[in-house]
Chain A
């Protein structure tokens, strides 16, 4: 065992792992984090705490992760390469470990120009850092954990023990490079991988076949990404505008049909689409988990955390495994 986190234990046990996502608020109020943690607790093995996602200032990932931990929800602290240099990253990694955090997901981070896809002001004029990239950050975590050394070579008296994660966009451009992209993250030391949202199961499976041929599925735990769809509009938006996500027309049509069934009734249209979205989600979870080489699912119910309980139960993934406290 590398760090003894709950997520690592579930994965080692061979049962399909379930992670969810908790987005911290743009506010100094801890209650939203606490509330979301209570909603998710018991229905996932760990929840990602996003790190100023969409390049918008929010409660920091570390602070929100500690709030979640206090509620009994195991966090996966996310760390982007956008906002910190290697000095700040390692300082935060030591601090977060000292506070009891055990999982860390490394990612490049949305560019500061993103500003919630233009919905918020954000800080498009900010200076970014990108001192290191995702592979390099993964390597830094591994060096700290396994060699007890900082990136610069100085010794750590007590090494932080993290279960190291990285994101992967299996269906992003350039498609034929994506397997190599994953290999580099695994070679750098990624213990687990969470993928970008999957709707096009055929394409995902063909990418996974390449991953199996490379033997990568045995060297890292791949959790397939599921983004819970709420409406036909959201699916269309994701298909056209979200990088690395393509949505088959059949799914969009299904949602459009659910919407049409409500006629002019807007409230009903929302309800029917949400119901259909949950159905689609459960189907996708099964299809992803049936794909050889996949060790779990990462379910993102964006600003809809309350949906997770029903999804996990309907997918037959409840109750979540528990382990005796050491």
Chain B
């Protein structure tokens, strides 16, 4: 899932302070799970903004709304007419949702209510950790299922640096050293010898370094186009 955290209310206020009608627009999938931008959080932000507006003597109407997902148009299309009656939308979806909606609202600005941080998992309630960086060329089969690209602070591909101490990374005692975990896991799997191979410099272009990425699945598009013709 995509993990984010709510922006400080002062920062949000600075984005919306001059608007008359503000919609706090939540997304009920990933960012709801991490308590950053689901309906509940959208409601809370709306309340805080209303209080702030009255404290500062601003004539501002703030409402909230949420849909299941902000990354596919069919989810927010039913509410688009209503959404477009506002003069500012504070989206608490992840950055994908903010971008996606912003492309569709014409003259109405869409601003981010959360900081989208990473792709992660729920280690335990309230504890979210980054486990994948979406590099576009997965190598987990070579590293015991532990990602060196985002779980190693230096994205090292061929083993640990000299900074590992007691299984922790040199950047912080709170951060596990990915390579310590990889070595332990590969030992457990009986595949440590696999690590002897030197991985050559990576092609980073399938990652965020080759320009914006797009994946087109031709047969899905064809089916869609046929349906449209029929309809």
Contacts and interface: CB of A to CB of B under 8 A. Distances in A.
Interface string B159-170: 111111111001
A56 to B, nearest CB: 15
Contacts of B154: 81-82, 108-109, 111, 128, 130, 133
A181 B198 contact: no
Contacts of A130: 154-156
B177 A173 contact: yes
A176 B163 CA distance: 16
B156 to A, nearest CB: 4
Overall SS of chain B's interface: loop
Interface in A87-140: 107-111, 113-114, 128, 130-136, 139-140
B103 to A, nearest CB: 27
Contact of B158 (A107, A114, A151, A184): A184
A183 B196 CA distance: 8
Nearest to A241: B165
Interface in B167-203: 167, 170-172, 177, 179-180, 183-184, 192, 195-196, 198-202
Contacts, number: 105
A6 interface: no
Contacts of A140: 201
B162 to A, nearest CB: 4
B162 A136 contact: no
A128 B149 CA distance: 13
Contacts of B46: none
B161 to A, nearest CB: 4
A177 interface: yes
A243 B171 contact: no
A244 B177 CA distance: 14
B204 interface: yes
A38 interface: no
A172 interface: yes
Interface residues of B, number: 32
A174 B156 contact: no
Interface residues of A, number: 38
Among A133, A136, A184, residue most surrounded by chain B Cβ atoms (within 10 Å) = A133
Contact of A177 (B157, B163, B183): B183
B170 A184 contact: no
A47 B192 CA distance: 36
A196 B156 CA distance: 19
Given A81-B154, A111-B153, A113-B171, A184 B198 contact: yes
A169 interface: yes
A172 B159 contact: no
Interface of B: 153-167, 170-172, 177, 179-180, 183-184, 192, 195-196, 198-202, 204
27 contacts: A107-B162, A108-B154, A108-B156, A108-B163, A111-B153, A111-B171, A113-B172, A130-B154, A130-B155, A131-B201, A132-B202, A133-B156, A134-B156, A134-B158, A135-B159, A135-B198, A135-B199, A139-B200, A139-B201, A172-B165, A173-B166, A173-B180, A174-B179, A181-B160, A196-B162, A243-B162, A243-B165
